[in-house]
Amino acid sequence: MLRAMLGEAWLAMGANRMRTILTMLGMVIGVGSVVLMMAIGQGAQYAVAQTIKTMGSNLYILISGSTSTGGVRSGGGGGPTLSVADAAAIAELDGVANVAPVHQGTQQLVYGANNWSATVVGTTPPYLDARAWTVISGHPFGDSDVRSATRVALIGQTAAANLFGADDPLGKTVRIRQSPFVIIGVLGRKGQNLDGRDQDDTLIIPLSTAQRKVFGTPFAGSVRLIMVQATSAEAMPTVEASMTALLRQRHRLREGQDNDFFVRNLAAAADSAAETTRVMSVLLGAIASVSLLVGGIGIMNIMLVSVTERTREIGIRMAIGARQKDILAQFLLEALMISVAGCLLGLVLGIGGALLTNALSDMVIVISGGSVVVAFAVAAGIGVFFGYYPAHRAAALDPIEALRHQ
Amino acid sequence: MAEAIIRVAGLGKSYRTAAGLFAALRGVDLTIARGEFVAIMGPSGSGKSTFMNLLGCLDTPTSGDYFLAGRNVAQLDRDALAALRNRTIGFVFQGFNLLPRMSLEDNVALPLVYAGQPREARRARARIELGRVGLGDYAASLPSRISGGQQQRVAIARALANSPQLILADEPTGNLDSHTSEEIMALFEALNRDGITIVLVTHEPDIATFARRQVRFRDGLIVSDLPTPSGAIA
């Protein structure tokens, strides 16, 4: 029975080939654009997730600032209120994985005849773990390098490429403000951060060396930034509270007095970036779905025409014993076949378009099995939904009227 | 007399029209025994088409009873009527009414699809019936490739596919020339000899003489019900 009906649906589709193809085209475009848009949206989500991963997870940045001396208030970073000792104290708190005091700034790097401006980060070894840096060749510096203020450096990919070209940076000497630094390690590539800044255009050196030789701070032992990494996302609120309490105590702030530091939650920033791309990808999918809806209406339209054209055929079928549900099933099956065939072609088109987009631009494209399954299920649903009304009309025809129809 | 295959009593059918209620049939009583060959005659508007639609279970009466093969079908629902049309009745129409996109074999097998028969059984049966009407060699042809008389033979084969007890033919020769008409009527006679009851609507007296009983309608009532004079059989 089903096989006979499938054969008949095939015949009916073939009888008006041009019309069937045009109707199918609506579904092809609809499904194709949904698949393509979802691939682009999920690609953007993936790209943001990758960027967030490179920033390091569960991070707080403590920024020294807002000293209030005799009514004169300065903004964030106005005075170095944080110290290396603060960092050491925070490291003792529960739920804290890594703490690294940071003193950073932009400096001119010189190697032979080349010079290049990059971000120089003076810090301690836990910084690498906190910011998820990897050392791909050479080795990181250790606590002893910080204690004795050795002139060693880890170099990022962009800075290395601009200073050394294709040469291996390991063992080469870079000068910053006349001080020579030996490159002991090369950092793995990270790409841009969420602000679009190139994270690889960097040089990491021991904090003590940075303060003495590069930045020349008048307040030895004080820093502008401290990176604090919590052990888990769940631990973050506790860490924030205990860290704030600790610093207020250490800085001898009275109740009612403002904090002389700022706490910036990087995880929250990452979450909002991820949320933004998620919304964008939902929006893209929603816009593409509209064309799927239009494709469905096209199917309904053509099925209504088909029912009208084939009224006499329906009458004949009823006269020789077709029940209402047989007629219903026949037209429903036809609508379903058109939409499923359109969906298959649309999948091919959408995936092809996604691969082409990937090939022609540097956009990240993610085609998930889930989106394919969803597109297919939606197309089948549309076939049934928009096919039902015409099929129901066909089944409800009066056999005598239908037979008399010319 | 043989058992009645059709017995209608006080059968009435009215339509609601713009001009008010129109009574197409006004209480018809008729009994047709198994194996009979009956011609229904009458001018247009006499109610004979309405009567045939009711006999064919395409429509339900507004009053009266209709017993088909011992079963009162006046109150059956659409699915039950469809099952009767499928298995108990075979239809032959004036315009042949074959489905143009299907091969002759598929056309003949179509009632078997709705009877839920498996594919192989359908094919075998369709070939037998096509052979019975003399078109066994045309199984794969499309209806447009054969003549009108041949199309009507295919329609008869289709009517026979589910071994019906009754064949209802509505002006089956209306679109055919007189020679082909006689061939089709001869086919009906042969089927009747095999025991199938045939009820035929026609307005041509020549065609009606092939039947053995002639029932005349006028204004929604039967006005005469006579055996065909023996001398008149062609």
Nearest to B85 among A8, A12, A319 (CB): A319
CA nearest neighbour of B29 among B67, B59, B57: B67
Q: Which of residues 70-99 of B touch A (CB under 8 A)?
A: 78-79, 82-83, 85-87, 91, 93, 97, 99
Q: What is the ipTM of this complex?
A: 0.93
Asked if the model's pLDDT at residue B229 lies above 90, the reply is no
Distance CA B218, CA B48 (A): 8
B5 burial type by CB count under 10 A (0-12 exposed, 13-18 middle, 19+ buried): buried
Q: Does A294 touch chain B (CB under 8 A)?
A: no
B113 and A11 within 8 Å at the Cβ level: the answer is no
Please name which of A342, A383, A386 lies closest in space to residue A33, comparing C-alpha atoms: A342
Neighbours of A406 (CB within 10 A): 5
What does the pLDDT look like over A55-92, one tens digit per residue?
778 889 998 875 555 555 555 545 678 888 899 999 99
**CA distance, residue A316 to nearest chain B CA (Å):** 7
Q: Record the tokens describing residue B179, joined without a space.
A: 């020679």
Q: What is the mean pLDDT of residues B131-145?
A: 93
Q: What pLDDT, in 10s, does the model give residues B183-211?
A: 999 999 999 999 999 999 998 899 999 99
Percent of chain A with pLDDT over 70: 96
* pLDDT for the residue A303: 94
Q: Cβ separation of A322 and B56 shorter than 8 Å? A: no
Cα pseudo-dihedral B205, B208, B213, B215, rounded to 10: -60
Contact A1 B110 (CB under 8 A): no
Contacts of residue A325 in chain B, CB cutoff 8 Å?
79
DSSP string, A3-67: HHHHHHHHHHHHHTHHHHHHHHHHHHHHHHHHHHHHHHHHHHHHHHHHHHHHH-SSEEEEEEB--
Q: What mean pLDDT, rounded, does chain B reach?
A: 91
Name B173's bridge partners: none
Instruction: Tell which B residues from 124 to 183 touch A, by Cβ distance under 8 Å.
Output: 158, 162
Shortest distance, CA A17 to any CA of chain B (angstroms): 13
Instruction: Give, as one character, the DSSP assignment of residue A76.
Output: B
Within 376-405 of A, beta carbons closer than 8 Å to B belong to: 399-400, 403
Q: What is the mean pLDDT of residues A347-360?
A: 90
Q: What is the pLDDT of residue B85?
A: 94
Counting Cα atoms < 13 Å in the Cβ hemisphere of B72 gives 8
B-chain residues near A8 (CB < 8 A): 102
- Cβ-defined contact of B58 to A313 (cutoff 8 Å): no
pLDDT tops 50 at residue A378: yes
| CA closest to A15 among chain B residues | B101
- Distance of residue A403 Cα from the nearest chain B Cα, in angstroms: 9
Please compute the mean of the pLDDT values over residues B43-57 and round it to a whole number: 91
* Closest-CA distance of chain B to residue A41, Å: 46
- Give the residues across from B183 on adjacent strands: none
Contact residues on chain B for A403, CB-CB shorter than 8 A:
58, 93, 97
Residue contacts between A and B (CB atoms, under 8 Å): 65
Q: Is the pTM of this model over 0.80?
A: no
Query: Shortest Cα distance from B223 to chain A (angstroms)?
Result: 25
| Nearest 10 degrees: Cα torsion A29, A32, A36, A37 | 50
- B83–A323 CB contact, under 8 Å: yes
Radius of gyration of chain A (CA): 33
- Residues B69-102 have pLDDT tens digits of 888 997 788 999 999 999 999 999 999 999 998 9
| Cβ-based contacts of A1 with chain B (< 8 Å) | 113, 116
User: What's the CA gap between A295 and A308, in Å, rounded?
Assistant: 20
Higher-confidence position of B162 and A56:
B162
Lowest average pLDDT, out of A73-82, A107-116, A286-295, B14-23, goes to A73-82
pLDDT interval class at A289 (50, 70, 90)? confident
pLDDT, mean of residues B169-180: 92
Distance CA A58, CA A236 (A): 7
What confidence score (pLDDT) does residue B104 get? 95
Identify the residue whose tokens are 């204690």: A147
DSSP E strands in chain B: the ranges are 4-17, 20-33, 37-41, 63-68, 71-72, 89-92, 166-170, 197-201, 213-218, 221-227
- Which phi and psi (to 5°) does residue B209 adopt? -70, -15
**Side-chain half-sphere of A100: how many Cα atoms within 13 Å?**
27
Q: Enumerate the β-bridge partners of residue A72.
A: A69
Q: Which pLDDT belongs to residue A100?
A: 93
In percent, the amount of chain B with pLDDT more than 90 equals 80
- Residue B170 three-state SS: strand
A203: amino acid identity, one letter: L
CB contact under 8 A, B113 and A1: yes
Handedness of CA A321, A322, A324, A325 (dihedral sign): positive
Residues 357-376 of chain A with CB under 8 A from chain B are none
Give pLDDT, residue B234. 46
Lookup: tokens for B172: 């089956």
Q: pLDDT tens digits, residue range B208-228? A: 999 999 999 999 999 999 998
Q: Contacts for A263-269 with beta carbons within 8 Å, 24 or more apart?
A: A263/A60, A263/A61, A263/A62, A263/A63, A264/A60, A264/A61, A264/A62, A264/A63, A265/A59, A265/A60, A265/A236, A265/A240, A266/A55, A266/A56, A266/A59, A266/A60, A266/A61, A267/A57, A267/A58, A267/A59, A267/A233, A267/A236, A269/A194
Cβ separation A15–B113 shorter than 8 A? no
Which residues does chain B have within 8 Å of residue A400's beta carbon, measured at their own beta carbons? 53, 58-59
Which are the contacts of A78, defined by CB distance < 8 A and separation ≥ 6?
A64, A65, A66, A67
Q: Which amino acid is at B200?
A: L
Listed range (A45-59, A148-162, B45-59) with the worst mean pLDDT: A45-59
Q: Is A177 on the interface with B (CB under 8 A)?
A: no
Q: What percent of chain B has pLDDT over 70?
A: 97
Query: Could you please report the per-residue DSSP string of A151-193?
Result: -EEEE-HHHHHHHHTTS--TT-EEEETTEEEEEEEEEPP--B-
Q: What is the pLDDT of residue A82?
A: 87
Q: Which residue of B has its CA nearest to A313?
A: B99
CA–CA distance, A298 with A295 (Å, rounded to integer) = 5
CA distances from B146 to A167, A326, B96, B124, B151 (A): 86, 29, 12, 22, 7
Burial degree of B123 (CB within 10 A; 0-12, 13-18, 19+): middle
Cβ neighbours around A276 below 10 Å, total: 14
pLDDT at residue number A232: 87
Most A-contacting residue of B52, B58, B91, B142 (CB-CB within 10 A), to test interface: B58
pLDDT given at position A369: 83
Contact yes or no for B132/B108 (Cβ under 8 A): no
Burial class of residue A252, CB neighbours in 10 A (0-12, 13-18, 19+) = exposed
Task: Mention every residue, 6+ apart, whose C-beta is less than 8 A from residue A126.
Answer: A91, A98, A99, A100, A227, A229
Give percent above pLDDT 90 in chain A: 38
A4 near B CB under 8 A: yes
Q: Spell out which residues of chain A touch residue B166, defining contact as CB-CB under 8 Å.
A: none
The SS3 call for residue A235 is: coil
Q: Mind listing the pLDDT tens digit for each residue in A208-248?
A: 898 888 887 767 778 889 999 999 888 888 999 999 999 99
Cβ contacts of B53 on chain A, cutoff 8 Å: 400
For residue A268 the two structure tokens come to 């929250």
